[in-house]
Structure 1
Amino acid sequence: MKRAVLFDLDGVLVDSRSAQLATLAGFATSALGRRVTVADLPAHAASTPRQRVMADLGLQGEINEDRWDAATATATLSCQVFQYVRETLTALRAFGVATGVITLRSRRRLPWLLPPDILALVDTVVCYEDATPKPAPDGLLLALDQLGVAPSEAVFVGDLETDVHAARAAGVIAVGAGWGFAGPEALAQAGADVVLPHSLDITAALLLLVGIGQRSEEAKRS
C-alpha cells in the first residue's frame, strides 16, 4: 500500500518568516513611495494575504508582479531550509513513502526558496497556479492523484489554520508544524490531528503516522 507525506513550504520546510516580512515591507516602500519598515506592517502580516496587508497600508488595486518579484527575490536570498528537511525527505524516500509540496508560491519562484538537491528529493510539487489555493483541498488532492496515493494513506504537514482546514477537507491526517507561522495553540484550535511543537524527531513521528514506524518496531520485537 503506497503512502505519502505532503508538506507546506513557507514556515514548514523553509524558514521564511523574516523574508516574507521583508518582501512585504520592500514592496510597500516601492509601491507607496515612502519608507515602510517591518515594524510598520500590520500584526500577523506574515500569515495574512498580501493583498490585505497592502490594503491596510493604503495601497489600492492590483499588486504589480514585477515589483513583487524584485522584492521577493532580494528577500529570499536569506532563506534557509530547516535542518530536519534533508534527513527527513531522505528517510521517507528510503522507506518508500512518496512526498509532495503544496505551496501558495508560484512555480517560477519555487527555486528561490528550495535548492536543487532538496527539490530532487520531492516527488511532486503543486504551486499557486496549479490548483485552487488552501483552505480548499484541491492542491492536496491533485498531489495525491499524481502520486497515486489515497487520502486515507496520507499526511499533510502545515503551519497555518488554512493548512489544517485543507487537510481535513481532503481527508488526510492534519499535522500542525508548531515551529511555523501560526504556532501550536492556533493549530490545535484549528483541529489538527497532531501538533508537533518543534521539528525534533519529526522523521520518526511521520513514519509512525503513515504506519511505517509501527511496522519497524514490530519487526524489531519479532
Structure 2
Amino acid sequence: MKLVIFDVDGTLVDSQQLIFTSMGRGFDAAGLTPPARDRVLSRVGLSLDRAVSELAPAAGDDAHRRIVAGYRSAYAFGRLTQHPPLYPGARDCLARLTARRDLLLAIATGMSRRGVTAMIEAYGLEGVFVSQQTADDHPSKPAPDMILAALSDTGVAAAESVMIGDTEYDMQMARSAGVTAFGVTWGYHAAEALRAGGAAQVLPDFAALTDAIEEWAA
C-alpha cells in the first residue's frame, strides 16, 4: 500500500475569501487594523495560533486570543451559510484514487478537527480519508508531526508516501518527515516557493496532479 496525504485549504478547498474575511473579523474583534490580503493568505497552512502571532507580532497574548476567537466565530458562521467550494477536478481526483486498491488517502491540515469534519460532511467524503491529522492535535506545519501520525495510523512507510500541498510549509513538512512532496499552483504560494520548499513536482491542475500521483504509485 501507498499513502497520499492531502492538505485542505488551498489544495482541496478554495477557502481564500472566507479565510481573509474571517481574519479581518478577528482583528476587528481585537480592535486592530486587519492585515493586507496578501499577508493573510501567505500564512495559510500554518496553525491559526501561529498565523495570528506572525500577522500581529506586536500584539499581546490577550489580543491574539481575541483575534483567534473572532476568526473562529466568523469562519464557522461563513461555513454554515456558504461552504467554500472544492477546486475544479478535486472530486474526480479523490474518486479515482479512492477506487484504487493500492492507495490510502489521508489529510494533514492546519484546520481544526471541527472544520475538517464539516468539510467532509458538506461534500459527502465520508470514508475517503483513513487518517485525518489537524491543528488540534499537532504542532503547526512545517513540523512533521501530522505526517508522522498519518504514517503511524496507516502503517505505510515514509518512502511509500506523498504529501500534496499548496504552500512551502507543506513541502517543508514533507521533507522533514522523509516523504515525497508534490506542490500545486492553484493555492496560496508560488511555484518557486514550492520548489524551494522541496517539491519533487509542481502541478498546474487536478488532471495533471492525478496523473502524477498514479505515475508515482506505479
TM over 0.5: yes
> How many matched pairs?
204
CA contact (8 A) 1:19 1:75 kept: yes
In the alignment, what sits opposite 1:71?
74
In 2, the alpha carbon distance for the partners of 1:199 and 1:89 equals: 10
Matched, 1:143 2:150: yes
Runs of 5+ unmatched residues, structure 1? 212-222
Structure 2 partner of 1:217? none
Q: Does residue 101 of structure 1 match 2:107?
A: yes
Aligned to 2:164: 157
Which amino acid in structure 2 is aligned with residue 82 of structure 1? Y
Give 2:179's match in structure 1, choosing from 165, 172, 176.
172
Any idea what the Cα deviations from partners look like across 1:69-122, whole Å, max 9, x if unmatched?
211113343411112222111211211210000011111222343425124322
Contact kept, 8 Å, 2:3 with 2:105, in 1: the verdict is yes
Q: Which runs of 4+ in 1 moved over 6 A?
A: none
**Percent identity, aligned pairs only?**
28
1:157 Cα deviation from its structure 2 partner: 0.4
Contact 1:41 1:53 in 2 (8 A): no
Shift of 1:59: 4.2
Residue 60 (structure 1) aligned with residue 60 (structure 2): yes
What value does the CA root-mean-square deviation take over the aligned residues?
Answer: 2.0
Code of the residue aligned with 1:192 in structure 2: it is: A
Rate the CA distance shift 1:135–1:82 in 2: closer, same or farther, 3 A: same
Moved more, 20-29 or 110-119: 110-119
Normalised TM-score (structure 2): 0.85
Cα 1:119–1:84 change in 2 (3 A) is farther
- Normalising by structure 1, we get a TM-score of 0.83
Structure 2, unaligned runs of 5 or more: 44-50
Alpha carbons 2:25, 2:70 under 8 Å: kept = no
Q: Which residue of 1 aligns with 2:25?
A: 26
d(CA) in 2 for partners of 1:126 and 1:156? Answer: 13
Highest CA radius of gyration, 1 or 2? 1
